[in-house]
Chain A
């Protein structure tokens, strides 16, 4: 059983979203990091990039696999977790905390209502 905190929102493509005022913090779920295995490389967007829902905003890679990251919300990237470069294992260790990927300034707060809650995501991953 993977960890699915109740206070976050989720996407079907295994991103988690934490809403802080008008900003969304985005990362990958515990289930996603478990499926990927040891993460060794992350490619993230530049601050200022404008994302629409389902845009590919980067990739995470394990030794053997590449996984694309999909934006669950629309908005402008206002922060990127540069501390992950060279320390990608942090995503495996604490995916919901130090393993966050980007912060997006929301364009349309109503989009948040389209995201899954914890029970919705749990049923998505069969838990």
Chain B
């Protein structure tokens, strides 16, 4: 007889944990981290980001530094986007994917280029261990390469909203407003050395600030004192659904290829070097599409949620797919969702129905994003 003991799992805390507690945040476990789901409430936080500037602790996301003479070639091999589109001198980032040879998505990532031989790859918190394993498992052909998981030593704060750039700029040594979308630069903000990148996940303008973990509380405080409204993961998820932005585990996973997740544009089958998944993805790209990801806007007041079936609206209510993410949209005042459905129903304005607790609710296929201000 033997007893199998599960390993003691420790829930991780970001360096801003005490700041969240002091601000009265409601904390929840998320992807192995204890994170703020909300401070004042999802509605006021969504409004703050749409009308002013919100602050998000996204330090739980994985940060992996990739450097060395082979770093560029390694990332070209590992990722589906074309890293050569980022200038060698650094200063720019790109959205990308890690895919398996069979085309399934391992994770969606952002590759930040700091210089000719130096990058930071930001990955989903829920996939950090898996991604690190995948990344370390594909280094054999690249001798001049160092991978460092900097997640615990650094912090990441997103400042998002129409007033975000002005807010950061007044605290920044360098002019951050000149950064193009997806541009990045080192700058000192409120006395703290940061890497500022004009990226985000809300459909608004703004920056994400990388800084040393032990300096993050001072940076957070300075940003809040300057008018940034602390926002939790609840508002963040609602904002990204309004902005039509996919989330790993919802719009995509290992059983989904990029062309079923509105992410075909990321895959550069024409890039000069081979990459993991290239052959399969090239074949999928040229094959007829069976399923696709669309926006769904409700006509009544009912709220679509993940997993709810989507039915054809005009030929007897056949099941055509399911909701991948849904929410009440505070910005639009109605229920909105993303859904993976049969490609034949994907034309915008196509009437569909969402099955909510045994009742059919009318909806329409809607263009994505539902809202964008950047």
Q: Point out the residues of chain B lying under 8 angstroms from A40, CB to CB.
A: 43, 303, 328, 330
On whether the beta carbons of B41 and A64 are closer than 8 Å, the reply is no
Name A64's contact: one of B237, B335, B357 (CB within 8 Å). B237
Q: Tell me the minimal C-beta distance from A63 to chain B in angstroms.
A: 4
A117 close to B (CB within 8 Å): no
Q: Tell me the minimal C-beta distance from B254 to chain A in angstroms.
A: 26
Minimal Cβ-Cβ distance residue in B for A63? B42
Minimal Cβ-Cβ distance residue in A for B234? A64
Minimal Cβ-Cβ distance residue in A for B43? A38
B305 close to A (CB within 8 Å): yes
Minimal Cβ-Cβ distance residue in B for A62? B42
B-facing mask of A36-69, CB < 8 A → 1, else 0? 0110110100000000000000010111101000
Question: How long is the Cα–Cα vector from A48 to B327 in the complex, in angstroms?
Answer: 31
Q: Point out the residues of chain B lying under 8 angstroms from A61, CB to CB.
A: 303, 328
Name A41's contact: one of B37, B46, B303 (CB within 8 Å). B303
Q: Point out the residues of chain B lying under 8 angstroms from A38, CB to CB.
A: 41-43
On whether the beta carbons of B302 and A64 are closer than 8 Å, the reply is no
Q: Point out the residues of chain B lying under 8 angstroms from A66, CB to CB.
A: 303, 305
On whether the beta carbons of B327 and A63 are closer than 8 Å, the reply is yes
A-facing mask of B326-342, CB < 8 A → 1, else 0? 01101000010000000
Question: How long is the Cα–Cα vector from A72 to B303 in the complex, in angstroms?
Answer: 25
Q: Tell me the minimal C-beta distance from A60 to chain B in angstroms.
A: 11
B255 close to A (CB within 8 Å): no
B76 close to A (CB within 8 Å): no
On whether the beta carbons of A63 and B234 are closer than 8 Å, the reply is yes
Q: Tell me the minimal C-beta distance from B56 to chain A in angstroms.
A: 15
Which range contains the number of A residues in contact with the other chain? Answer: 10 to 19
Q: Tell me the minimal C-beta distance from B323 to chain A in angstroms.
A: 13
On whether the beta carbons of A59 and B41 are closer than 8 Å, the reply is no
Known: A63-B327, A63-B330. A41 touches B234 (CB 8 A): no
Question: How long is the Cα–Cα vector from A74 to B237 in the complex, in angstroms?
Answer: 39
Q: Point out the residues of chain A lying under 8 angstroms from B330, CB to CB.
A: 40, 63
Question: How long is the Cα–Cα vector from A37 to B237 in the complex, in angstroms?
Answer: 15
Question: How long is the Cα–Cα vector from A121 to B46 in the complex, in angstroms?
Answer: 33
Q: Tell me the minimal C-beta distance from B274 to chain A in angstroms.
A: 42
B38 close to A (CB within 8 Å): yes
B290 close to A (CB within 8 Å): no
Minimal Cβ-Cβ distance residue in A for B38? A37
B85 close to A (CB within 8 Å): no
B residues 1-53 near A (Cβ < 8 Å) are 37-38, 41-43, 46
Minimal Cβ-Cβ distance residue in A for B238? A63
Question: How long is the Cα–Cα vector from A41 to B336 in the complex, in angstroms?
Answer: 13
Known: A37-B38, A37-B234, A41-B328. A63 touches B305 (CB 8 A): no
On whether the beta carbons of A59 and B357 are closer than 8 Å, the reply is yes
B301 close to A (CB within 8 Å): yes
Q: Tell me the minimal C-beta distance from B80 to chain A in angstroms.
A: 31
Q: Point out the residues of chain B lying under 8 angstroms from A59, CB to CB.
A: 357
Q: Tell me the minimal C-beta distance from A80 to chain B in angstroms.
A: 15
On whether the beta carbons of B43 and A64 are closer than 8 Å, the reply is no
Minimal Cβ-Cβ distance residue in A for B237? A64
Q: Point out the residues of chain A lying under 8 angstroms from B328, CB to CB.
A: 40-41, 61-63
Question: How long is the Cα–Cα vector from A124 to B208 in the complex, in angstroms?
Answer: 43
> Which of A59, A61, A64 has most B Cβ within 10 Å?
A64
> Which of B46, B301, B305, B330 has most A Cβ within 10 Å?
B301
Q: Tell me the minimal C-beta distance from A36 to chain B in angstroms.
A: 10
A-facing mask of B269-309, CB < 8 A → 1, else 0? 00000000000000000000000000000000111010000
Q: A37-B42, A63-B42, A64-B37 are in contact. List 9 more A-B contacts (CB 8 A).
A: A38-B43, A40-B43, A41-B328, A41-B335, A63-B43, A63-B330, A64-B237, A66-B303, A66-B305
- The list of the 9 closest CB pairs from A to B, nearest first, reads A63-B42, A38-B43, A40-B328, A63-B328, A64-B234, A38-B41, A41-B303, A61-B303, A63-B238
Query: What are 22 of the A-B contact pairs (CB < 8 Å)?
Result: A37-B38, A37-B41, A37-B42, A37-B234, A38-B41, A38-B43, A40-B43, A40-B303, A40-B330, A41-B301, A41-B303, A41-B328, A41-B335, A43-B302, A43-B357, A63-B46, A63-B238, A63-B327, A64-B327, A66-B305, A85-B301, A86-B301
